Amino acid sequence: MKHFTRIADLGVNGVAAVLDQAQAWKRQAPGAHLAGKLLGMVFFNPSLRTRASFEAAMLRGGGNAIVLEVGSGVWKLEDRNGAVMDGDRPEHIKEAIPVLGRYVDALAVRTFGALMDDDADAADPVMSAFRELAGVPVISMESAREHPCQGLADLLTVRERFGGTQKLPVTLTWAPHIKPLPKAVPHSFLLTAAAGGCEVRVVHPPGFELHPAVLAEAQHYARQSGGAVRVTHDRQDALSGSRAVYAKAWGPATAGVAAGEAAARIAAHKDWLVTGDTLARAAGDAIFLHCLPVRRNVEVADEVLDGAASRVIDEAENRFHVQRVLLDKLLEGTAC
């Protein structure tokens, strides 16, 4: 059973192969390569961009998608073994997942971390259960640990601008927000850029560390790809000569920080807002990236998003292009 829920499912060579194919299909679309294929899309958290890009990839490929919105906590799945299910979770994943797998050719799943325990989120319990129980291939639309389709779209955008990513200095910079956010997106940019051979600089205030297991995995990819990963708290150092500046808000590293306390810790670093001055510290031809949605003038200033360096709309479009390739592989489409 093939799955794609983390960059580790592709590895360094797999990442390159997906991007090669995605670039080729941007020039010439693959036609009805997914004819007769049915994707089940399960959302534990709402989505607009992910929903539209995945569904478009299936429909434009001649396939179909069923969209199942579990909703904002309305219908909850129990995942504890041996639970006496007398609470607010009317169904166990042991039934829900294999049943859905009987109706479709693959399952796409979006689930967020609980943001209570970094190690628990990095262990990715809901996505792991889908891999184990689905009976069909599983693809991630973002989970507690990673958002790998986003990472691939990010790297494709960098590659399109500069022709390649080998030894390219890129910066992932923490940004402020009104509340703590999951780490899946920064994890995935880090992993994908490292796999792509970039010289990755991660910069954030002290106390906002990414998960150590993900950092170690990124270092592993960098050794294979000829890239590098460096973590710093010094923005000047992180930005100097960088060709791509990726801004993203995420919550404190410490497990189980109360939401109010976490928001206060974030608010102490409002000056990390990414402005024109920030971008000016990078290389003269640097591009700006963000996964969206972005809170303007909280995370990133208007002048950056509306400026010539921004590639955020192209980056969002690239979600479609990389997902089309991944779905073809998972569903054994006729094009690959």
User: Hey, which residues between 165 and 194 contact a copy of itself (CB under 8 A)?
Assistant: 178
User: Hey, which residues between 267 and 306 contact a copy of itself (CB under 8 A)?
Assistant: 292-298, 302, 305-306
Backbone torsions φ then ψ of 157, nearest 5 degrees: -65, -40
Query: Does position 82 bind a copy of itself by CB under 8 A?
Result: yes
Query: Does position 91 bind a copy of itself by CB under 8 A?
Result: yes
Our CB check for a copy of itself shows the closer of 17 and 292 to be 292
Q: Which residues contact 144 (CB under 8 A, 6 or more apart)?
A: 111, 112, 113, 114, 120, 121, 122, 123, 124, 125, 126, 127, 182, 184
Query: Does position 48 bind a copy of itself by CB under 8 A?
Result: yes
Query: Does position 98 bind a copy of itself by CB under 8 A?
Result: yes
Q: For residues 180 and 152, is the Cβ–Cβ distance under 8 A?
A: no
Q: What span, in angstroms and rounded, lies between the C-alpha atoms of 161 and 245?
A: 13
Q: Shortest distance, CB of residue 203 to a copy of itself, whole angstroms?
A: 23
Query: Does position 2 bind a copy of itself by CB under 8 A?
Result: no
Q: If you search the block for the tokens 């799945």, which residue do you land on?
A: 77
Structure tokens at 278: 């920030």
| Nearest in space to 24 (alpha carbons), one of 272, 322, 246 | 322
Per CB under 8 A, the list member of 115, 122, 193, 312 interacting with a copy of itself is 312
Q: For residues 18 and 318, is the Cβ–Cβ distance under 8 A?
A: no
Our CB check for a copy of itself shows the closer of 49 and 265 to be 49
Q: For residues 292 and 248, is the Cβ–Cβ distance under 8 A?
A: no
Per CB under 8 A, the list member of 202, 316, 322, 331 interacting with a copy of itself is 316
* Site residues, a copy of itself (CB under 8 A): 38, 40, 46, 48-49, 51-53, 55-56, 59-60, 64, 66, 68, 70, 72, 74-75, 78, 81-86, 90-92, 94-96, 98-100, 102-104, 178, 292-298, 302, 305-306, 312-313, 316-317, 320
